[in-house]
Chains A and B, each alone.
Chain A
Amino acid sequence: MKSAGKKYLVAGALCLCCTLTKGEVNAASETGNEFLDMDLSQLMNITITSVSKKEQRLADAAAAVFVISQEDIRRSGVTSIPDALAMAPGLQVAKISASKWSVSSRGFAGHTSNKLLVLIDGRSVYSPSFSGTWWDMQNTLLEDIDRIEVIRGPGGTLWGANAVNGIINIITKKSSETHGGLVRVGAGDQERYQGGVRYGAKLNGSTDGRIYLTYNDRDNNTLANGGGDANDSWQSFQGGFRLDGTPRANSEWTLQGDMYRNRADQILYPYWIATSPYLTAKDSEADMTGANILGRYRRELSGGDAITVQAYYDYNDQEEHDYYQQTFKTVDLDIQYETSFGAYNSFTIGGGYRRVDGEYENSYQVEVSDTDTGDDIYSTFVQDEIKLIDDKLWLTLGTKWEHNDFTGSELQPSGRLLWKPVANHSFWASVARAVRTPSIVERKGSILAASYPLPPPYNSITGTTYIRGNKEFDSEEVVAYETGYRWQANTKLSFDIAAFYNEYEKLYQLEPVTSSTGLDFTFVNGAEGHSYGLELAADWKPTSWLSLVLTYSYLDMELSSVNSLTGQNVSESTLAIAKSSPKHQASVRTSIDFAEKWQTNLWLRYTDEIVGRDSADVLSGEIPLDGYFLFDANLIWKATDHLEIMLVGQNLLNNSQLEYISELITPATEIERSVYLKLTYNF
């Protein structure tokens, strides 16, 4: 099957990678060039290319995309990247504790949600240990974020493995856009203290730079059972720099780096011990340190060709005291070339190499059989954007070939069609395959899931149940069928709707195996199923002082176990993981500029009921969670041209709200209502 695919490796291409911008489309005349009536300052704001990939306007993407802009982030009052992601349709964002989130796309929610790829300025922050993102290690000065692009659906053709259900691209501003100083200070009850400093300047005729520091101190929340202190306070501290240069009109480079040090309190639960009472909870802490540096160079050549080279190094150390400790060192190199072939084929070809070295310290709770790992991943991709009908119909075909040490070669092709019958309507459809490669834990790890007394004659030893890694564990696979429609009715009103049907195979499942100390479970590719859903976003600015953004997401998943011998479905009932994501989600954001220097922003969102997993009962523990509303509101006063004062209320409807129950480490925690005040001074 795979060899058949390889034959067509060169036949592939897609255009999704592309950085997306919310370029406004004039309600243009149906023929001709809609830009002719725009003035130069407007025209110069339209992005046509970007450093990362070929540029596309949002209206021209044959994929389900949503862009969270800097203005959206500023007006929302959020203080972290994952909280900002709750603005996007199709994502499931739930706060587990002060420092932990479940962020997933189109289902498979969880603290260790593993089918979503996250990039910050082109650097992957997807953790190889569990195939997901540790959100308590991903931070930056929020004011420096240019936009967050949320792409739902598979992106494996360009981005590689693990972009199964989506990609999140966090893109910071170029340093030419952050000249001058910024100082932010704030205080509140949950957001105890916050501070941010940035200074940027033009360094010489062709080089700009900035440096920043950011600090947050968050207070404890409340345990769902008994209402005690959840002991989850969190302090995060990060600093960094960015330099951008344009030595010539046709070339540009970026050098950027960050360092961080975070610490958090946490209760480890369930915390299994070898003696009675076996199941305990332990007050503990976590320390996270990391640093990264990234360089990128892009040069445009004659004839519209362009070459981009990028390299980064990332170091991070995560020490969850009494639980595990892991260190990763990643080196990544990427090269990309854009060229056109004839008048109607635009090719993007690229290759990459990544080396990840990991070191682990084992505990009674978590073990990795190989305490030093080194994994190499190399890949190549090609995509072709073909104009079928000029200005109306495009086909993008592509595929990525990637090789990893665990499962060997993986091929991730896609085909996408974009139809724009007139300038402000676009229809798109796509078919794509993507894979999630096994994590280190799934291959080599052991996680203690229970300890218990054994009956005689075995009562001299403690019974244990581990979830054990499996060297035979293979990649999970999805084939996704998607379609969507975008309508920019005029400059005030736009709609975006996307629907999908995903077929999953070889999903992970726990299978019981006997061991010398009781019963273990091991990871097998023992489940399959499908999901379908719908996501809607509407953006309406009826007047210059009022804007509304409405999003709605529907998700339905049916997953079942497969008997490895007969290939038949074992269970009629759907698996627990399918129930851990809400069927319905809705959000309304309203922004009102009610006086010259005053703004208020209101954000109401609803999350449907889910079934959480009881981490103390690996076999069958299910805990139903009711649907809930969250309401945030804030008030902004632009006191002077330089000074802005903002009063923010989060989760105002409830004293505290249980949003999610983690399947790992953390006891069920209710997130408390939060009020904070911040001052931002620009100079």
Chain B
Amino acid sequence: MTSRKLFISVLPVILALLYGVAAIAANTETEGLEYKLKAAFLLNFSKFTTWPKEAFSEAGQTFDFCIIGKDPFGKALDGLESKKVGGRNVRLHHAGSTADAKTCHVMFISKSEQSHLAQLLQAVVGRPVLTVSDIEGFSRQGGILEFVTKDGRLSFVANNQQALHSGLQINASLLNLAAEVF
């Protein structure tokens, strides 16, 4: 048997071993291009939205991002807290439900919360909270900004009626970039 033939016969074994090692070594943190982009979108959304004065109870209050449910971002949110929105320092909160998140300015609802989305949205209705999610049909169900993929690129659908109802002014230049506005 030539070394070449030996190699070919051994190749599947090597691959299987590599696979085993990989499966063990792999850790559970998730992250990727998609959520890095989504994180950057979130920051841009907040910069192009105007909150009513009463959304900030005191001068110098932080600008609060909340992640509701299982965090899909992982390290994609690293560096977010070093940013400023409207001159305010950004703070990031993780919460199991909206009850823990009364002071959120931007609320990202994870796909893990799909089953009780209606209750989550009901809890913030009429309050100046910019709700964002990548749950399919989010904007139709009363969410404000829904991530969608268009032509292989990340885009979003804006429910501007809901934004206005919540007391939020979404800048026209942001609405112009949306895949759909209603």
A-side interface residues toward B, CB under 8 Å? 1, 4-5, 7-8, 11-12, 19, 29, 31-36, 38-41, 43-51, 55, 57, 60, 174, 176-177, 246, 249-250, 252, 300, 302-303, 342-345, 384, 386-391, 395, 397, 399, 413, 415, 431, 433, 477, 479, 503, 505, 528, 567
A63 to B44, CA, bound (A): 34
A302–B152 touching, CB < 8 Å: no
B78–A40 touching, CB < 8 Å: no
B15–chain A nearest beta-carbon distance, Å: 5
9 closest cross-chain pairs (CB), A and B? A32-B79, A249-B148, A35-B40, A344-B26, A32-B78, A386-B22, A390-B29, A8-B12, A50-B152
Write 14 A-B pairs (CB below 8 A) sorted by A numbering: A4-B9, A11-B15, A35-B40, A41-B177, A44-B153, A46-B153, A48-B34, A48-B153, A50-B152, A57-B33, A249-B149, A386-B22, A387-B27, A390-B30
* Contact with A390, one of B12, B19, B27 (Cβ below 8 angstroms): B27
A153 to B149, CA, bound (A): 31
A250 to B41, CA, bound (A): 19
Name the A residues within 8 Å of B77 (CB-CB): 33
A40–B44 touching, CB < 8 Å: yes
Name the B residues within 8 Å of A5 (CB-CB): 11-12
Does B7 interact with chain A (Cβ within 8 Å)? yes
Name the A residues within 8 Å of B48 (CB-CB): 40
A29–B79 touching, CB < 8 Å: yes
A11 to B17, CA, bound (A): 10
B-side interface residues toward A, CB under 8 Å? 2, 4-5, 7-9, 11-16, 18-19, 22-23, 25-31, 33-34, 36-37, 39-41, 43-44, 48, 74-80, 83, 111, 114, 136, 146, 148-155, 157, 174, 177, 179-180
Answer whether A51 and B11 are a contact pair too, CB < 8 Å, given A390-B29, A503-B4.
no
A48 to B153, CA, bound (A): 5
A33–B152 touching, CB < 8 Å: no
Interface of B is mostly: helix
A299–chain B nearest beta-carbon distance, Å: 11
Name the A residues within 8 Å of B76 (CB-CB): 33
Name the B residues within 8 Å of A343 (CB-CB): 28-30
Answer whether A300 and B15 are a contact pair too, CB < 8 Å, given A33-B36, A44-B177, A48-B34.
no
A398–chain B nearest beta-carbon distance, Å: 9
A60 to B179, CA, bound (A): 27
B41–A48 touching, CB < 8 Å: no
Q: Which chain A residue has the least Cβ–Cβ distance from B146? A: A249
A43–B8 touching, CB < 8 Å: no
B172–chain A nearest beta-carbon distance, Å: 13
B23–A345 touching, CB < 8 Å: yes
A19 to B78, CA, bound (A): 28
B149–A300 touching, CB < 8 Å: yes
B41–A40 touching, CB < 8 Å: yes
A479–B7 touching, CB < 8 Å: yes
Name the B residues within 8 Å of A386 (CB-CB): 19, 22-23, 26
Name the B residues within 8 Å of A567 (CB-CB): 2
A429 to B72, CA, bound (A): 29
Answer whether A344 and B154 are a contact pair too, CB < 8 Å, given A48-B149, A505-B4.
no
A303–B78 touching, CB < 8 Å: no
* Contact with B39, one of A8, A35, A389, A503 (Cβ below 8 angstroms): A35
Q: Which chain B residue has the least Cβ–Cβ distance from A303? A: B111
A374–chain B nearest beta-carbon distance, Å: 31
Which residue among A32, A60, A174 has the maximum number of chain B CB atoms within 10 Å of its CB? A32
Name the A residues within 8 Å of B8 (CB-CB): 1, 433, 477, 479
B154–A44 touching, CB < 8 Å: yes
Name the B residues within 8 Å of A41 (CB-CB): 177
A7 to B9, CA, bound (A): 12
A390–B31 touching, CB < 8 Å: yes
B151–A8 touching, CB < 8 Å: no
A36–B15 touching, CB < 8 Å: no
A342–chain B nearest beta-carbon distance, Å: 7
A46–B27 touching, CB < 8 Å: no
A479 to B15, CA, bound (A): 14
B9–chain A nearest beta-carbon distance, Å: 5
Q: Which chain B residue has the least Cβ–Cβ distance from A528? A: B4
A119–chain B nearest beta-carbon distance, Å: 17
B80–A36 touching, CB < 8 Å: yes
Which residue among B5, B12, B16, B80 has the maximum number of chain A CB atoms within 10 Å of its CB? B12
Name the B residues within 8 Å of A389 (CB-CB): 25, 27
* Contact with A38, one of B23, B34, B40 (Cβ below 8 angstroms): B40
A362 to B152, CA, bound (A): 47
Answer whether A49 and B149 are a contact pair too, CB < 8 Å, given A1-B8, A4-B9, A479-B8.
yes
Name the B residues within 8 Å of A39 (CB-CB): 44
Q: Which chain A residue has the least Cβ–Cβ distance from B43? A: A36
Name the A residues within 8 Å of B177 (CB-CB): 40-41, 44
Name the A residues within 8 Å of B150 (CB-CB): 246, 249
A176 to B155, CA, bound (A): 15
